[in-house]
Amino acid sequence: MAFALKYGCNPHQRQAEAELGAGAPVRVRSGKPSMVNMLDALNGWQLVAELKAVLGLPAAASFKHVSPAGAALAATLPDDLRRAYELGNRQLSPLATAYARARGTDPKCSFGDFAALSDPVDAVTAAYLRGVVSDGVIAPGFEPGTLDVLAAKKGGAFVVIEADPSYRPPASEAREVFGVRLTQERNNCRIAFEHLDHVVCGQVTESAKADMLLGLVTLKYTQSNSVAYAWGGQTIGIGAGQQSRVDCTKLAGAKADVWHLGRHPKVRGLEFRAGVKRQERINWRVRYIEGDMTTAEQAAFAQALALPAAPLTPAERADWLAGMDGVSLVSDGFIPFRDNVDHAQRHGVRFIAQPGGGSRDDEVTAACREYGIAMAHTGLRLFHH
Cα separation, 63 vs 136, whole angstroms? 10
For 158-215, what is each residue's pLDDT tens digit? 999 999 999 999 999 999 999 999 999 999 999 999 999 999 999 999 999 999 999 9
User: Which of these is catalytic: 12, 89, 188, 385?
Assistant: 385
Region 38-46: what's the mean pLDDT? 97
Q: How far is CA 20 from the centre of its chain?
A: 27
pLDDT at 89: 87
CA distances from 38 to 35, 120, 138, 140, 267 (A): 5, 19, 10, 15, 36
Q: 182, 176 in Cβ contact below 8 A? A: yes
Region 319-345: what's the mean pLDDT? 96
pLDDT at 338: 95
pLDDT at 2: 84
Residue 385 has pLDDT above 80, yes or no: yes
User: Domain residues of the chain, as ranges?
Assistant: 2-168, 173-261+321-377, 265-311
Cα angle vertex 308, ends 305, 312, to 5°? Answer: 100
Largest CA distance in the chain: 61
Contacts of residue 193, defined as CB under 8 A and 6 or more positions apart, other chains included, come to 209, 213
User: Which of these is catalytic: 225, 255, 260, 377?
Assistant: 225
Cα separation, 12 vs 130, whole angstroms? 29
pTM of this structure: 0.95
Cα separation, 296 vs 116, whole angstroms? 37
Contacts of residue 322, defined as CB under 8 A and 6 or more positions apart, other chains included, come to none
Do 2-168 and 173-261+321-377 come out as alike in CATH topology?
A: yes
User: Which CATH architecture best describes the domain 2-168?
Assistant: 3-Layer(aba) Sandwich (3.40)
pLDDT at 21: 83
Highest CATH level, class, for 173-261+321-377: alpha beta
For 343-357, what is each residue's pLDDT tens digit? 999 999 999 999 999
Residue 143 has pLDDT above 80, yes or no: yes
- Any catalytic annotation for residue 65? yes
pLDDT higher at 94 or 292 = 94
Mean pLDDT for all residues in the chain: 95
pLDDT at 109: 94
Provide the residue type at 162 as one letter: E
User: Which of these is catalytic: 6, 65, 154, 343?
Assistant: 65
For 313-328, what is each residue's pLDDT tens digit? 999 999 999 999 999 9
User: Which of these is catalytic: 37, 52, 64, 384?
Assistant: 64
- Any catalytic annotation for residue 283? no
